[in-house]
């Protein structure tokens, strides 16, 4: 399938690499292609600059947000939280309307250092903001509660673990579930919380996530919802 992935950072690269390996036609979207291609340093996660990464993944294309949106029959938002609203605005309504978008972004505010706070939370969420700004886009919030390497390789962990999906369109959620199943997620590991307002719940997990990252000295963990057995 033709898939547009917004964002060239660690999440965008990791998702694009996985989609490419599964045979999808992937186009990465960025604000300024020339500026992205001019970068020469690794990012804060040790990922290579996008120019080197593209050389190693020759089937993946880099283009503007607008072109990536136009290319994709399905979209993935892997921008930073701070860049998400602008990225979708630059993508443009005509190329977003009617499409399913998996939104992985989190509204993290690092302006006061680590751990970050949230730039929107509690009575609103970034997922809702994106949905409100683009009512014809089918936003499915998901994968935003774990590190990129585990998003695309859930079986790396030695146990069942869970992700949380939400969005207003049942068909779009099914489409995302299908894609994530191809990443290795089991159906029972993808918990559908309901409409997009539930992004308030999943985005607000990040403040615990970043603290566990600090305590465990690793991002290679995820949450499992352990339930009482029937009748307990």
# residues contacting a second copy (CB under 8 A): 44
Which CB atom, from 133 or from 193, has the smaller least distance to a second copy?
Answer: 193
Nearest approach, Cβ of residue 204 and a second copy (Å): 4
Strand locations in 39-89 (E): 61-64, 74-77
Is 204 a binder of a second copy (CB under 8 A)?
yes
Question: Which helix (H) or strand (E) is 94 found in, with range?
Answer: helix 93-96
Is 223 a binder of a second copy (CB under 8 A)?
yes
> Per the structure block, which two tokens stand in for 103?
């939104």
Is 71 a binder of a second copy (CB under 8 A)?
no
Q: Which stretch binds a second copy (CB under 8 A): 69-77, 92-100, 130-138, 214-222?
A: 214-222
Nearest approach, Cβ of residue 18 and a second copy (Å): 17
Number of residues assigned to the chain: 232
Tell me phi and psi for residue 93, to 5 degrees: -55, -45
**74 - beta bridge partners?**
3, 100
Nearest approach, Cβ of residue 129 and a second copy (Å): 16
112-141: contacts with a second copy (CB under 8 A):
115, 117-118, 121-123
Indicate which single residue of 1, 56, 170, 216 sits in contact with a second copy (rule: CB under 8 A). 216
> Per the structure block, which two tokens stand in for 32?
């300024």
**164 - beta bridge partners?**
191
Is 82 a binder of a second copy (CB under 8 A)?
no
Cβ proximity of 168 and 138 under 8 Å: yes
Using CA of residue 124, residue 202, residue 78, residue 131, what is the dihedral sign?
A: negative
Indicate which single residue of 96, 158, 167, 176 sits in contact with a second copy (rule: CB under 8 A). 158
Indicate which single residue of 63, 93, 157, 183 sits in contact with a second copy (rule: CB under 8 A). 157
Residue 150's closest CA among 203, 201, 209, 198? 209
For 132-147, give the DSSP string. HH-TTSEEEE-STTS-
Pairing of strands 163-167, 100-103: unpaired
Is 227 a binder of a second copy (CB under 8 A)?
yes
Indicate which single residue of 156, 170, 178, 186 sits in contact with a second copy (rule: CB under 8 A). 156
Sites of contact with a second copy (CB under 8 A): 115, 117-118, 121-123, 156-161, 164, 191-194, 198, 200-202, 204-205, 207-212, 214-216, 218, 220-229, 232
């Amino acid at each position: 399938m033709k898939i547009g992935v917004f964002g060239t950072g660690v999440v965008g690269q990791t998702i694009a690499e996985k989609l490419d390996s599964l045979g999808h036609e992937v186009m990465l979207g960025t604000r300024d292609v020339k500026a992205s291609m001019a970068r020469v340093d690794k990012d804060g996660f040790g990922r290579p600059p996008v120019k080197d990464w593209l050389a190693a993944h020759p089937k993946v294309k880099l283009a503007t947000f607008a072109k990536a949106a136009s290319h994709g029959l399905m979209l993935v938002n892997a921008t930073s939280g701070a860049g998400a609203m602008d990225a979708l605005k630059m993508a443009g309504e005509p190329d977003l309307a009617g499409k399913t978008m998996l939104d992985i972004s989190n509204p993290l505010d690092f302006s006061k250092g680590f751990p970050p706070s949230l730039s929107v939370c509690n009575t609103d969420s970034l997922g809702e903001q994106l949905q409100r700004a683009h009512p014809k886009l089918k936003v499915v919030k998901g994968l935003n509660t774990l590190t990129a390497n585990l998003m695309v390789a859930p079986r790396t962990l030695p146990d069942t673990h869970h992700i949380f999906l939400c969005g207003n369109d049942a068909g779009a959620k099914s489409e995302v579930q299908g894609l994530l199943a191809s990443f290795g997620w089991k159906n029972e590991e993808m918990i559908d919380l309901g409409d997009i307002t539930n992004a308030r719940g999943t985005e607000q997990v990040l403040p615990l996530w970043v603290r566990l990252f600090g305590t465990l000295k690793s991002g290679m963990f995820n949450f499992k919802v352990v339930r009482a057995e029937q009748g307990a």
